[in-house]
């Protein structure tokens, strides 16, 4: 990655939260919604620009972002899975974007410090993919350089970007982090209960 790379953060927050039967992006955490937590961490980091991909009940989520310096991108095909949101986010990138960092809208514990650690590793390396690792297990957010954009644009169904991890296996940069937050996302009510136990930490 070239010096002073411009990395766009793409927050994937379009899903219907089918396993919870309620919109998890709106769930309260630390005095705001879970989506606001994710967006504010991204805004507090060194990311050059932030794109938020919305879909399910976007009319309830857009008002949360009005006073935040983000670009909202609407995924009309959010029911097709995460890959559809990845492609929607890619369509919102400008020519100046050297890379995209994909953040999950249900990972409110990911801090600006974690994001900046990934960005610093990106800055120092030519690797097309940069992944955070805790206890030798990869997590999110994941960074993809412009080199990978054409391949990301061909993703199908709800596999996310996992196929690229195999294709680029020998060129992935793994960045050790000391925070298990990269592994914690809220998919179920049990996950949310666990998250609330961490609310004041």
Q: In this structure, what CATH number is given to the domain that contains residue 43?
A: 3.90.550.10
Rounded to whole angstroms, the Cα distance separating 72 from 66 reads 10
In the structure encoding, which two tokens stand for residue 75, read together? 């995924």
Q: Is residue 1 part of a domain?
A: no
* Closest to 33 measured CA to CA, from 8, 57, 9: 57
Q: Is residue 62 part of a domain?
A: yes
Q: Which of 74-83, 109-118, 139-148, 180-189 has the lowest mean pLDDT?
A: 74-83
Residue 1 has a pLDDT of 56
Rounded to whole angstroms, the Cα distance separating 120 from 5 reads 10
11 pLDDT exceeds 70? yes
45 pLDDT exceeds 90? yes
In the structure encoding, which two tokens stand for residue 115, read together? 């994001």
Q: Is residue 116 part of a domain?
A: yes
Q: Is residue 113 part of a domain?
A: yes
pLDDT digits (tens, 9 = 90+) for 142-161: 999 999 999 999 998 777 88
- 3 sits in the region (left: phi over 0; alpha: psi -120 to 50; else beta) called beta
Q: Is residue 160 part of a domain?
A: yes
Rounded to whole angstroms, the Cα distance separating 42 from 64 reads 15
71 pLDDT exceeds 60? yes
Q: pLDDT band at 72, cuts 50/70/90?
A: very high
Q: Is residue 90 part of a domain?
A: yes
Q: pLDDT band at 10, cuts 50/70/90?
A: very high
Residue 17 has a pLDDT of 86
Q: pLDDT band at 3, cuts 50/70/90?
A: low
Q: Is residue 69 part of a domain?
A: yes
Q: Is residue 2 part of a domain?
A: no
Total domain count, the chain: 1
| Residue where the block lists tokens 């949360």 | 64
Query: Domain limits at 180?
Result: 7-197
């Amino acid at each position: 990655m070239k010096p002073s790379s411009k990395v766009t953060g793409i927050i994937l927050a379009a899903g219907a939260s089918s396993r919870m039967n309620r919109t998890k992006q709106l769930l309260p955490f630390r005095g705001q919604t879970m989506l606001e937590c994710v967006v504010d961490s991204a805004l507090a980091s060194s990311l050059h620009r932030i794109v938020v991909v919305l879909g399910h009940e976007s009319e309830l989520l857009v008002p949360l972002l009005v006073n935040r310096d983000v670009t909202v991108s609407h995924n009309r095909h959010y029911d097709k899975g995460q890959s559809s949101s990845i492609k929607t986010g890619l369509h919102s990138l400008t020519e100046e974007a050297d890379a995209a960092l994909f953040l999950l809208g249900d990972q409110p514990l990911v801090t600006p410090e974690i994001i900046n650690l990934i960005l610093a590793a990106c800055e120092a390396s030519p690797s097309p993919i940069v992944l955070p690792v805790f206890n030798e297990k990869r997590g999110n957010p994941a960074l993809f350089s412009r080199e990978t954009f054409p391949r990301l644009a061909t993703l199908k169904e709800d596999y996310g970007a996992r196929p690229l991890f195999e294709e680029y296996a020998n060129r992935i940069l793994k960045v050790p982090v000391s925070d298990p937050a990269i592994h914690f996302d809220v998919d179920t009510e049990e996950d949310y209960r666990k998250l609330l136990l961490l609310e004041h930490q």
